[in-house]
């Protein structure tokens, strides 16, 4: 087969048509309903015991954020008038040995990072008491301050944590680190934090999405629709549901997706995540390039063994490659050299750019389909305005991603998107800030009980 046809085949494999988007929306709706009623579903639909803030919460709170490549500690001052200010925000890089050894090592690492950071910022001990913890992995919650890990995602494998209450693990690590006052009062997912952080400012926000190392979303559901559980002590009429949409599996997989899944740390799981999120997009491109070069379609005159290295093609290259507007595609050439492909023809570089485009466009269109499904689950006829808060490096740093999402949403809901019935809002630091807002909600509720 000529190389032009091979590239066209890849593009066809990765295309997501408007009809396929509509099918994803239908399948999402039925999986969501089943997950809410406790039947078998690829969507866990986890009740979070969190309601949206009122915007009047006040005070300074510390938040921890564990989710992907970094561990972040931040302090947020809530002013009580729908505005807030980050007092400090510091991150510690999570080395591979920290996330893949024992749970104790991971939790001790976090506690010591907190200790160092709050010492540098001379935070008063009192302010370390009520801490919100964004823990961005699937947990089964029995309340706002307890959650057991269902299973790790995104390459984390730290032993001895699955099935354990991560709030307890964190509080014990604080004690071991000599921080007896530090206490987690709320545990939350990054999607929930993002939604809460945005809705502190904007009451129309009812969906929170992460497009970063992993991908997931949460939304506001009526408690009466969550028929699988009863919620003693939770009096609000709505609760945020952590969908864990990364695990959605009603999808058309290409042979490349099957390979990625097979060699992942969690085969058979997180299939949507493996097609959409930053942890996998570069790897998909590498696998496609490898196959195309083996079939003699590209890189015929050079050594391409470099393409055999798992994770050798970083996701961030995709956006740089797509945006290369130089005449001979010099940036593409530089990136290929960086990964070890020393010589490339102009036709090779054009092929690489088309493959990157196909992979990232599919990711954005599937992300858009999932967003459309969630918004129409809340409001099937789109009668009200909805703000979708999005945080995550992929959405923030990949220039074409937000544009592709908007295009896809316009295809399915032309009127609502144009008339701002669906507003997509980049919510930077939402994943950290929201945990501080939730800690404030918990403190207010406790103060109320103490007063009554
Ligand atoms: C993974 C986690 C999920 C998280 C998402 C984004 O999918 O399972 O809990 O929200 O990554 O960080």
Alpha helices in 138-221 (DSSP H): 166-176, 190-201
Q: 149: exposed, middle or buried (C-beta count within 10 Å: 0-12, 13-18, 19+)?
A: buried
- 347 catalytic? Reply is no
Q: How far apart are CA 307 and CA 352, in angstroms?
A: 13
State in Å: Cα 47 to ligand 1 middle: 15
Spot the catalytic one: 52, 72, 286, 362: 72
| Residue to substitute in 214, 240, 395, 432 for testing ligand 1 pocket (most ligand atoms within 8 angstroms of CB) | 214
| Residue to substitute in 94, 133, 138 for testing ligand 1 pocket (most ligand atoms within 8 angstroms of CB) | 138
| Per-position pLDDT tens, the chain of length 452 | 577 888 999 999 999 999 999 999 999 999 999 999 999 999 999 999 999 999 999 999 999 999 878 999 999 999 999 999 999 999 999 999 999 999 999 999 999 999 998 877 766 645 567 899 999 999 999 899 999 999 999 989 999 999 999 999 999 999 999 998 899 999 999 999 999 999 999 999 999 999 999 999 999 999 999 999 988 878 899 999 999 999 999 999 999 999 999 999 999 999 999 999 999 999 999 999 999 999 988 998 888 888 999 999 999 999 999 999 999 999 999 999 999 998 899 999 999 999 999 999 999 999 999 999 999 999 998 989 999 999 999 999 987 899 999 999 999 888 777 676 899 999 999 999 999 999 999 888 877 777 77
Protein fold of 1-48+191-428: Hexokinase; domain 1 (3.40.367)
Tens digits of per-residue pLDDT, 322-371? 999 999 999 999 999 999 998 899 999 999 999 999 999 999 999 999 99
Tokens 């799981």 — which residue? 269
**How far is residue 328 CA from its own chain's centroid?**
35
* Contact (CB, 8 A) for 333 and 344: yes
Tens digits of per-residue pLDDT, 188-217? 999 999 999 999 999 999 999 999 999 999
Going from N- to C-terminal start, the domains of the chain cover 1-48+191-428, 49-188
Give domain 49-188's CATH architecture.
2-Layer Sandwich (3.30)
138 lines ligand 1 (CB under 6 A): yes
Q: How far apart are CA 202 and CA 195, in angstroms?
A: 10
- 379 catalytic? Reply is no
DSSP state of 224: G
């Amino acid at each position: 087969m000529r190389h032009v046809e091979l590239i066209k085949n890849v593009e066809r494999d990765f295309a997501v048509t408007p009809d396929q988007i509509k099918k994803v929306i239908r399948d999402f709706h039925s999986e969501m309903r089943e997950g809410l009623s406790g039947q078998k579903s690829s969507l866990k639909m986890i009740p979070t015991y969190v309601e949206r803030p009122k915007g009047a919460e006040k005070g300074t709170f510390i938040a921890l954020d564990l989710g992907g490549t970094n561990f972040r500690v931040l302090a947020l001052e809530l002013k009580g008038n729908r505005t807030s200010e980050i007092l400090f925000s510091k991150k510690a890089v999570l080395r591979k040995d920290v996330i893949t050894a024992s749970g104790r090592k991971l939790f001790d690492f976090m506690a010591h990072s907190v200790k160092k950071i709050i010492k540098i910022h001379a935070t008063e001990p009192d302010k370390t008491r009520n801490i919100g913890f964004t823990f961005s992995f699937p947990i089964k919650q029995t309340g706002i301050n307890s959650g057991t890990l269902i299973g790790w995602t995104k390459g984390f494998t730290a032993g001895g944590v699955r099935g354990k209450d991560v709030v307890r693990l964190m509080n014990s690590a604080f004690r071991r680190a000599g921080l007896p006052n530090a206490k987690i009062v709320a545990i939350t997912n990054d999607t929930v934090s993002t939604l809460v952080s945005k809705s502190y400012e904007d009451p129309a926000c009812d969906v929170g999405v992460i497009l970063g190392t992993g991908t997931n979303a949460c939304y506001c559901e009526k408690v009466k629709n969550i028929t699988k559980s009863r919620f003693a002590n939770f009096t609000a009429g709505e609760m945020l549901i952590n969908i864990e949409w990364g695990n959605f599996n009603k999808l058309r997989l290409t042979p490349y997706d099957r390979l990625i899944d097979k060699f992942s740390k969690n085969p058979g799981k997180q299939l949507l995540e493996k097609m959409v999120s930053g942890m996998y997009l570069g790897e998909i491109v590498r696998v496609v390039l490898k196959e195309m070069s083996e079939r003699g379609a590209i890189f015929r005159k050079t050594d391409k063994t470099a393409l055999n290295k798992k994770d050798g093609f970083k996701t961030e290259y995709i956006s740089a490659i797509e945006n290369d507007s130089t005449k001979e595609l010099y940036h593409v050439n530089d990136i290929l050299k960086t990964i070890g492909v020393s010589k490339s023809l102009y036709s090779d570089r054009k092929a690489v750019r088309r493959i990157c485009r196909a992979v990232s466009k599919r990711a954005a269109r599937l992300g858009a389909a999932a967003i459309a499904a969630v918004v129409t689950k809340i409001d099937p006829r789109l009668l009200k305005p909805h703000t979708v808060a999005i945080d995550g490096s992929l959405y923030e740093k990949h220039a074409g991603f937000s544009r592709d999402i908007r295009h896809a949403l316009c295809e399915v809901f032309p009127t609502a998107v144009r008339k701002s019935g669906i507003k997509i809002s980049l919510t930077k630091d939402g994943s950290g800030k929201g945990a501080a807002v939730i800690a404030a909600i918990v403190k207010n509720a406790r103060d109320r009980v103490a007063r009554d």
